[in-house]
DNA sequence: GACACCCCTGACAACGGTGTCAGATGTATG
DNA sequence: CATACATCTGACACCGTTGTCAGGGGTGTC
């Protein structure tokens, strides 16, 4: 019989290349790894044989013995690869990585602590060279025993708890403060803040910034409505509908995240209150400038964040040792387009 | 001295587990691979040792000898991971993959043929189990010698040339036809089509569908303007500006892609012609319903596409052999929201 | 001319697992 | 009780590469 199992693909090994070039396997190894002490003529012959046989060294076998084992891959954990904010960071990170011939494993977190741990485990099992993580678990202490010594970790978007490493994030407190002050400056005194689950660090930070700004304007915090646990567009839309139906409804809304913003805009439209109730979103969204009124946002800089995070990661990888953990805070930009410049219906007493 | 080099991380090997359990290494191997012929008591002891030592088998070493080598990873090549259409497919694929404990390498193509080859090479070098590819090179013949025998390939969004494999894509010809007929039905006779580079299969297909529809209405194709090579928002915006400045400017525009649509909307706004010139976009965009007028689009179903593509890939992987290549065409949906229902300014003579 | 030294080179062990196979043990059968 | 057979187990080669090290050859120095 002619073998029932799959015909073993005739993989070319270093041995055949060595034989073809008439040298020892170690010499071939030297050539492909740019190690010194190979005569130019020998190297040329070896290279010719490699090309002739179309040999691709087996990275896994190589890493098996190599001390400085590098898989040229990194793990990237994002809120969701489908979220434009995360996707933009992803792209920036990929560009930096691709430039160094490093591949990126991307996973979606979905703000589920269990997925966080599972994703990191999966990355580690695949022996990535480093990790860029968006976290949501209450604590990242688990990383201490999960992440092998020497594997660099950079957090993006959210600060970790119980694990010290680089972290790149937006200036959330300032950003939310800017949003709130912008509205307060236009005379609003009854504000609402719509945020995601408080298990998410950015939600907490933005809430903090929001409340601080209220304080600065002497607005008692109990006049503000804070709706949390808004994790998608629909929930945000419903929340705004409810909010505006209540007596003493807010005259201005700060949205804590891109999906919430979109949900809020939908609700305002449905209620016909979009020229009436002020709205400032956190994180920019596509087409925001073409709405009527235009959507005022505190824009993040996701590309810059991805860039900074990947540069930190590769810096640590290049150094071959953990760097002193840095916290990199990326500024945010208020972009006034109309929705945030709507004045409250009547002069209010502070 | 205390060793200058990095302190070798004390990796736990199968040997230590075997010793701890008082068995041979092969028995440990049997247990972790669910091979038969291990006494239950022995297996239990081994499992206890694995847990006690927190041993994680080294997948790379395992795959070295294994005949049926699986890295539990797949390579995904997309237009750009930052494009919402691609990002949504990505998410769908990731979900299917994650469910099977398979990790996804994602790369951006940027419609550069060289990046296509480079990305596939990188995936193959990393020994992914399968490939999901968006292609742009003139021919995919190169895959024959690049992709190892037995590695399944599924194309998404665009059909390959010179390489036979599964392919999942939108019904581009029909979609573009629907868009054009929609406008023709409202009385438009001077149409413009804005598409990306013709090296991109979808651009060509959509052009074909567009022209077919014109033919059905007896509209001579030379009365239609086709602008190609629009690869980003700005280019599309400039193209529309130029287009509408010309004499005999089109009264309706079909946009061949999400970024082009956004660029076109910007241009129409700037010119104040947005209630005046009809526009139908290919591929839906966020907030399209809240523009004024609402944006009429031929929506794709990226999630469904990603789902279908990954299911085909895993079906082939499960079967352990190449499946009969299938072409899966995903329907598109016309969503009328206003911009596509604008009538031409004056009755025209066909 | 002997010696030291540097530059090349390849034999061989090692990396952490799996495949093969032979041997040990237990049970049913003649 | 001997034999056959199935079940369980571990020794060992092997996967494709890199690290180590010893050896061969050329050159410079005394």
- Does pLDDT of B8 surpass 50? no
Instruction: Name A residues 55-94 whose Cβ lies under 7 Å from strand D.
Output: 55-58, 61-62, 64-68
Q: Residues B128, B75: contact at Cβ < 8 Å?
A: yes
pLDDT digits (tens, 9 = 90+) for A128-148: 899 999 999 999 999 998 888
Is B290 an 8 Å CB contact of chain A? yes
Res A6: pLDDT? 36
Report the chain A residue with the minimal C-alpha distance to residue B266.
A290
Instruction: Name the residue with the least CA to C1' distance from nucleotide C16.
Output: B61
Cβ contact (<8 Å) for B105 and A64?
Answer: no
Taking residues B297-314, report their average pLDDT.
98
- Is the CB atom of residue A20 positioned under 7 angstroms from any atom of strand C? no
Confidence of residue A326 (pLDDT cuts 50, 70, 90): very high
- Is the CB atom of residue B42 positioned under 7 angstroms from any atom of strand D? yes
Report the chain A residue with the minimal C-alpha distance to residue B262.
A287
Taking residues A78-99, report their average pLDDT.
97
Query: What is the spatial distance, in angstroms and rounded to an integer, between the CA atom of B37 and the C1' atom of D8?
Result: 6
Res B67: pLDDT? 67
CA distance B289 to chain A (A): 9
Res B56: pLDDT? 87
Total CB pairs under 8 A between chain A and B: 152
Cβ contact (<8 Å) for A8 and B122?
Answer: no
How crowded is the C-beta side of B49, counted as CA atoms within 13 Å? 26
Taking each helix axis from N to C terminus, what angle separates B84-99 and B302-319, rounded to the nearest 10 degrees?
A: 40
Taking residues B319-342, report their average pLDDT.
94
- Is the CB atom of residue B24 positioned under 7 angstroms from any atom of strand C? no
CA distance B72 to chain A (A): 9
- Does pLDDT of A57 surpass 60? yes
Is B34 an 8 Å CB contact of chain A? no
Is A108 an 8 Å CB contact of chain B? yes
Res A65: pLDDT? 84
- Does pLDDT of A3 surpass 80? no
Res A303: pLDDT? 98
Res B16: pLDDT? 93
Relative to beta strand B225-227, strand B103-108 is: unpaired
Res B3: pLDDT? 28
Res B350: pLDDT? 44
- Does pLDDT of B2 surpass 60? no
Confidence of residue A8 (pLDDT cuts 50, 70, 90): very low
**A262: nearest CB among B82, B149, B286:** B286
pLDDT digits (tens, 9 = 90+) for A202-248: 999 999 999 999 999 999 989 999 999 999 999 999 999 999 999 99
Q: Which residue has the higher pLDDT, A125 or A274?
A: A274
Which residues are CB-contacts of A155 (< 8 A; sequence separation ≥ 6)?
A132, A133, A134, A135, A140, A165, A166, A167, A168, A169, A309
Res A66: pLDDT? 78
How crowded is the C-beta side of A240, counted as CA atoms within 13 Å? 31
Which of these, A101, A290, A42, A77, lies nearest to B107 by C-alpha position?
A101
Res B6: pLDDT? 37
* A340 CB-contact burial (10 Å; exposed 0-12 / middle 13-18 / buried 19+): buried
CA gap B81, B87 in Å, rounded: 5
Question: Which residues of chain B are within 8 Å of residue A269 when distances are taken between CB atoms?
Answer: 290
Question: How far is residue B21 from each of residues A7, B26, B41, B111, B261, measured CA to CA in Å?
Answer: 37, 12, 11, 55, 64
Sheet bearing B130-133, strands edge to edge: A327-330, A166-170, A153-156, A130-133, A73-78, A103-108, B103-108, B73-78, B130-133, B153-156, B166-170, B327-330
Taking residues B328-333, report their average pLDDT.
98
- Does pLDDT of B346 surpass 80? no
Q: By three-state DSSP, how is residue B153 classified? A: strand
Which of these, A302, A291, A239, lies nearest to A95 by C-alpha position?
A302
DSSP A147-159: SPTT--EEEESS-
Q: Residues B295, B279: contact at Cβ < 8 Å?
A: yes
Confidence of residue A68 (pLDDT cuts 50, 70, 90): low
Report the chain B residue with the minimal C-alpha distance to residue A78.
B91
CA gap A78, A86 in Å, rounded: 6
Q: In chain D, which nucleotides are within 7 Å of a protein Cβ?
A: 7-20
Cβ contact (<8 Å) for B150 and A6?
Answer: yes
Res B148: pLDDT? 83
* B319 CB-contact burial (10 Å; exposed 0-12 / middle 13-18 / buried 19+): exposed
CA gap B202, B182 in Å, rounded: 20
Taking residues A12-24, report their average pLDDT.
93
Is A155 an 8 Å CB contact of chain B? no
- Is the CB atom of residue B37 positioned under 7 angstroms from any atom of strand C? no
Q: Residues B192, B180: contact at Cβ < 8 Å?
A: no
pLDDT digits (tens, 9 = 90+) for B142-174: 999 888 888 899 999 999 999 999 999 999 999
- Is the CB atom of residue A38 positioned under 7 angstroms from any atom of strand C? yes
To probe the interface with B, which of A69, A82, A120 has the most B CB atoms within 10 Å? A82
Res A348: pLDDT? 47
CA gap B83, B91 in Å, rounded: 12
Which residues are CB-contacts of A270 (< 8 A; sequence separation ≥ 6)?
A237, A241
């Amino acid at each position: 019989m002619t073998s029932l199992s799959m015909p073993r693909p005739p993989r070319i090994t270093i041995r055949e290349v060595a034989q073809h070039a008439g040298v020892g396997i170690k010499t071939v190894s030297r050539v492909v790894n740019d190690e010194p002490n190979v005569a130019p003529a020998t190297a040329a012959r070896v290279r010719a044989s490699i090309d002739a046989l179309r040999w691709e060294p087996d990275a896994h076998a190589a890493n098996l013995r190599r001390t400085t084992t590098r898989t040229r891959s990194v793990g990237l954990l994002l809120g969701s690869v489908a979220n434009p904010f995360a996707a933009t960071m992803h792209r920036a990170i990929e560009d930096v990585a691709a430039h160094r011939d490093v591949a990126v494993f991307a996973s979606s977190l979905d703000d589920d602590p269990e997925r966080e741990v599972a994703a990191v485990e999966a990355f580690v099992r695949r022996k990535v060279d480093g990790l860029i993580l968006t976290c949501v678990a209450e604590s990242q202490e688990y990383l201490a025993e999960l992440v092998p010594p020497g594997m660099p970790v950079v957090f993006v978007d959210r600060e970790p708890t119980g694990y010290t490493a680089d972290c790149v994030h937006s200036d959330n407190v300032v950003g939310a403060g800017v949003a709130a002050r912008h509205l307060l400056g236009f005379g609003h005194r009854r504000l609402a803040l719509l945020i995601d689950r408080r298990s998410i660090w950015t939600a907490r930070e933005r809430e903090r910034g929001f409340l601080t700004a209220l304080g600065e304007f002497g607005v008692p915090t109990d006049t503000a409505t804070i709706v949390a646990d808004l994790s998608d567009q629909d929930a945000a839309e419903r929340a705004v509908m409810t909010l505006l139906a209540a007596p003493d409804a807010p005259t201005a809304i700060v949205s804590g995240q891109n999906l919430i913003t979109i949900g809020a805009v939908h609700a305002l439209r449905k209620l016909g209150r979009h020229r009436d109730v002020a709205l400032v979103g956190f994180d920019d969204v596509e087409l925001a400038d073409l709405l009527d009124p235009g959507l005022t946002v505190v824009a993040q800089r996701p590309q810059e964040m991805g860039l900074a995070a990947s540069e930190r990661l590769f810096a640590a990888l290049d150094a071959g040792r953990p760097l002193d953990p840095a916290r990199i805070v990326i500024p945010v930009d208020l972009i006034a387009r109309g929705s945030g410049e709507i004045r409250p219906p009547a002069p209010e007493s502070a």
